[in-house]
Structure 1
């Protein structure tokens, strides 16, 4: 394995000039270079670049024959499986827009997305229930991968659908790389979801910048236990792998540690994309030492607060040295900042990264970076380096806005193109971001500002704490009071008292949470990408507090 800087130079040399391309063109070019190269591994099966491209062609032909038009929206409610991948590139070829939907979304949520996007097609793996027959009246075609399709003419089984791809069709119009390829609805960690519009070119630029920072070698094999219907696994796993002729490993169903380790060992995984909750399960697995994982040399753990002990454990238990974390959001195609693979655990525990360099994929006006940030105060004035406030960003990977939601777009994006992230933090003298949480997560106690992110960092240093999430709950007398949800290693009374005493000794009096709820972190409300849903946690805290003292 070459050193990090050598790998970066090799990658940049292969892309001296940035050429815009659609998602389909990117896949087709790699398939032309090596059609027999393995692209995807799923449940012990291997699929080559040539096979995935061929199936994408067949699917696009079937959709086109059924009346799909350029720019039309297709809702895709699939888990991590080969069909999600082939459908993605089929839609890109047809110039259509993919609208990925959580396969476990409620019928009401699905109807909301379908109505707003005007999607006429739904590709799903969930069997169509009798009570759903009258739902989603605007849909013309519902294509079911699993289960029976039903007698209604709108419903087709996967086999029936693929048969339509055999009929000759008119030539499809070639889409533009700047056209919208995906409308990805935000995870709902802060409330009502909005449809984020992302283009082919934006996604490729973002993926390439991640490849550069992490020094992707040709043929990198990446394990992606994250849902591909969100940008993290989609961009930094699936699309990034294509850029280097690599492959991704996916496993179906709920994350299972043994199943994941067996698959990684079998395929010789080089890299893991994860969230803290998944990484902790891997590291705490009793039989982990029985898996050599000799090809593994990189780990990316991000999307939510990571307990400090995890970074050291990754290096010791997985024997990996290139470990990073990052910061981003759907609106910027995934990560906009990452730490360097050479950074030590102190950096990983205290910072979320620096702005990604994209080289040819970046903006010349930004010295090759793919995005720029500024920090503003409560009055909208830009703060100097080190100033703490709300983060704003703009650049070639930043969304144009929210689909058919002019009001939300106007509130988020100003006339100069600056997107309000809703996040709070500051940049240090080395350009690294200290992330302090969401604007609406910050709270005041008697006029004193409290950052849940800071509290979580301090509390997580206690030896008995596995992970912690702190929230502020409104209070008539103080404005807010803090509530800490703590997952402890041995939650007996002595341990609980020890954790509370630790907080009193290491936090200012006003920062010490009024309430401590000791529960298993698996029971906390999470999005599908592993982020804790703070707004739901606040509601749980409120109810628990009412039960305990009836004062809230």
Structure 2
């Protein structure tokens, strides 16, 4: 474990190279396993180690494998065939990885679904994904998800369009909301009728790692979700390269209060820990106080989170009352965190290995991460460069699994290195497309496998990616392009500002104008004129937002992983402007 000090910069420890060498020493070459085969090896190597800890439950690697085997048998008896789609509508649970492994064993495609979705959003995904089976948490009248699913089962459109054949519900102590739900006990009992020979025969027929193993729906931060098709090999290569880049040591304990259904915790948590026999502590929800309690209790070494979690965690008045000395690493992703936040995290927590990263579901979570030991200035202005691949990497990608370039936003022509353009990526962890969406796929993936990310940025002289904004977020003021990210960075430097998001809105004089949504720090009082005055010191005149709206913490429209949904902000802005113009 790295030695701590009172440094105000992330530092490289002497054993990082040794940790990376230890990882690669486990393989002579990349094994190209399926999820099930990978976990068979992991569970055989670390049988008695704890693997998953949720709020009140825990499970070892050996127990995970035994459950997965029984669940696979139950799925076979239930009628699940190879290539069938199995949706999982579940909060964080110790059985989640086992169900995922079971799907791999029987050759089914698992589809993790966001538990925060509305009934209509669930209807869209369950029908569009062709899910034949659904596994969900307690299906009682007190569970809003169960109420939504029951309502869908009674809708004529859903009954006509869905392919759902069975809905399995995890254990509960109350009466099921609908008799059409299969109780967990009956599901598990189905395993008794399937022999080991039949299970092994199915598993043997399901060991091709380049088949689609998962369909992960995009978060909806830019509109209608799309089902990203990922193979087992993509998922495993991405998580292994995370281990290499972060030099994750044997037995690391990672605290990650993030949902299992999102690729962030799925790849960087569930899968990454399985490569090192680590423990993943993953509560169903986040609160600063409970986070401190769990980090202290389980002696967590690592903290995966997003800025909307980090800021209240660091500002909590009881932070110093807990022993958090076991922490030395942190990955704060999904959105940029300013230098003062990183400095505070290092000073209060004694962190020695801090990173951020950049990616999307289409690249099996993160494609790039920042290097251990870089300056805070680089950490806050760059999102990283391609992760180290180790034995999983390709020589043509300089040992990574991906490569990036920038292209002209309109012509798609490759731009010279260092030019600002739309980021494109290709590689072994890049999805081949969206499920049943050939037109959308063709728009973003070309014949050579380059995927357009939808992000504007550039690659600097060291190969680091500087994000400038989303192609959909860039707006024009009197013909001049404005990056919301640049405006956000300027406003976030104001001492009274806690969080800011900028969008472009229609304007009769300049075609478009900037609109800034700002959350102030607790107890601060700031006026519109103060923000405008501040902006004029940092931004060109046309970049200064015309509209300034102050909002509270609870008013931010967020995805389940803390990303601001800017398309929702546009809707809010339209409503406010319409009201003002009446």
TM-score normalised by length of structure 2: 0.91
The CA distance in 1 between the partners of 2:524 and 2:252, in whole Å, is 45
Which residue number corresponds to residue 390 of structure 2?
359
1:314 to 326, 345, 350: 345
Is 1:25 the counterpart of 2:2 in the alignment?
no
CA distance in 2, matches of 1:189, 1:126: 28
User: Does residue 8 of structure 1 match 2:28?
Assistant: no
What is residue 196 of structure 1 aligned with on the other side? 228
Q: Secondary structure at the match of 1:441?
A: coil
**Which residue of 154, 166, 181 maps to 1:134?**
154
Aligned counterpart for 1:335 among listed residues 366, 376, 397: 366
Are the counterparts in 2 of residues 103 and 124 from structure 1 also a CA contact under 8 Å?
A: no
Deviates more, 1:272-281 or 1:329-338: 272-281
The residue that corresponds to 1:143 in the other structure is: 168
Counterpart check, 1:460 vs 2:492: yes
C-alpha displacement at 1:380, in angstroms?
2.0
Using a 3 Å threshold, how does the CA distance of structure 1 residues 167 and 351 change in structure 2: closer, same or farther? same
**What does residue 368 of structure 1 align with?**
399
Q: Name the SS of the counterpart of 1:467 in structure 2.
A: strand
Does the Cα contact within 8 Å between 1:207 and 1:236 map onto a contact in 2?
A: yes
Q: Output the CA distance in 1 between the equivalents of 2:63 and 2:531.
A: 55
Residue 352 (structure 1) shift: 0.5
1:57-92 superposed Cα distances (whole Å, 9 cap, x missing partner): 111111110100111101110011112222111111
Equivalent position to 1:259, from 282, 290, 310: 290
Indicate if the aligned counterparts of 2:123 and 2:152 stay in contact, CA closer than 8 A.
Answer: no
Runs of 4+ displaced beyond 6 Å: none
Residue 205 of structure 1 corresponds to 237
For 1:130-155, what per-residue CA distance to the aligned partner results, in whole angstroms no more than 9, with x for missing partners? 53442543321111224533563x41
Q: Tell me the equivalent position of 1:268.
A: 299
1:415 aligned partner: 447
2:116 to 100, 104, 109: 104
Which residue matches 2:54? 42
The Cα of 1:349 is off from its aligned counterpart by: 1.1
**Could you tell me how far 1:107 is from its partner in structure 2?**
2.1
Q: Distance in 1 between matches of 2:525 and 2:32?
A: 60
Deviations 1:188-216 (A, max 9, x none): 11111110000111111000111111110
CA–CA distance in structure 1, aligned partners of residues 314 and 528 of structure 2:
24
SS where residue 39 of structure 1 aligns?
A: strand
CA contact (8 A) 1:44 1:263 kept: no
Aligned in 2, Cα 1:403/1:131: closer, same or farther, shift over 3 Å? closer
Q: How many pairs were matched up?
A: 548
Does structure 2 retain, via aligned residues, the 8 Å contact 1:77–1:122? yes
Contact 1:491 1:518 in 2 (8 A): no
* Distance in structure 2 (CA, Å) of the matches to 1:536 and 1:513: 18
Which of residues 376, 380, 388 in structure 2 aligns to 1:345? 376
Comparing 49-58 and 113-122, the one that deviates more = 113-122
TM-aligned CA deviation for residue 111 of structure 1 = 2.0
How does 1:148-159 map onto structure 2 within 5 Å? 148-150=175-177, 152=179, 154-159=180-185
Segment drifting more, 125-134 vs 51-60: 125-134
How far off is 1:20 after superposition? Answer: 0.7
Task: Supply the distance in 1 between the matched residues of 2:359 and 2:522 (Cα, whole angstroms).
Answer: 34
Pair 1:14–1:472, CA change in 2 (3 A):
same
Residue 405 of structure 2 contacts residue 459 of structure 2 at CA under 8 Å; is this kept in 1? no
* More moved, 67-76 vs 34-43: 34-43
Q: Aligned to 1:300, what secondary structure does the other structure show?
A: strand
- Residues 35, 197 of structure 1: alpha-carbon distance in 2 compared, 3 angstrom cutoff: same
Which of 463-472 and 37-46 deviates more?
37-46
Which shifted more, 129-138 or 170-179? Answer: 129-138
Among 522, 536, 549, which residue is 1:504 paired with?
536
Tell me, what secondary structure is at the counterpart of 2:327?
A: coil
- Aligned residues of 1:308 and 1:460 also touching (Cα < 8 A): no
> TM-score with structure 1 length normalisation?
0.96
The yes-or-no answer on 1:287 pairing with 2:314 is: no
- Pairing of 1:152-551 with structure 2 (within 5 A): 152=179, 154-169=180-195, 170-171=198-199, 172=202, 173-252=205-284, 254-377=285-408, 378-490=410-522, 493-494=525-526, 496-550=528-582
Deviations 1:136-176 (A, max 9, x none): 43321111224533563x41111221111222243323331
Root-mean-square deviation (CA, aligned residues, Å) is: 1.6
| 1:121 equivalent among 129, 133, 147 | 133
Which whole-Å CA distance do the structure 1 matches of 2:491 and 2:77 have between them? 58
Task: Quote the Cα distance in structure 2 between the aligned partners of 1:179 and 1:329.
Answer: 20
Distance in 1 (alpha carbons) for counterparts of 2:334 and 2:526: 32
Q: Deviations over 1:375-410 (max 9, x none)?
A: 111322211121000111111000011111111111
What is the rounded CA distance, in whole Å, between the counterparts of 2:45 and 2:446 in structure 1? 43
CA distance in 2, matches of 1:183, 1:113: 11
Distance of 1:547 and 1:269 partners within structure 2: 50
Contact 2:258 2:283 in 1 (8 A): no
SS of the equivalent of 1:510 reads helix
- Shifted more, 240-249 versus 27-36: the winner is 27-36
Q: CA deviation at 1:549?
A: 4.4
Whether contact under 8 Å (1:148, 1:157) holds in the other structure is: no
* Range moving further from structure 2, 8-17 or 99-108: 8-17
1:72 aligns with 2:84: yes
Q: Distance in 1 between matches of 2:265 and 2:106?
A: 23
**Looking at both structures, which has the greater relative contact order when contacts are Cα pairs under 8 Å and sequence separation is at least 6?**
2
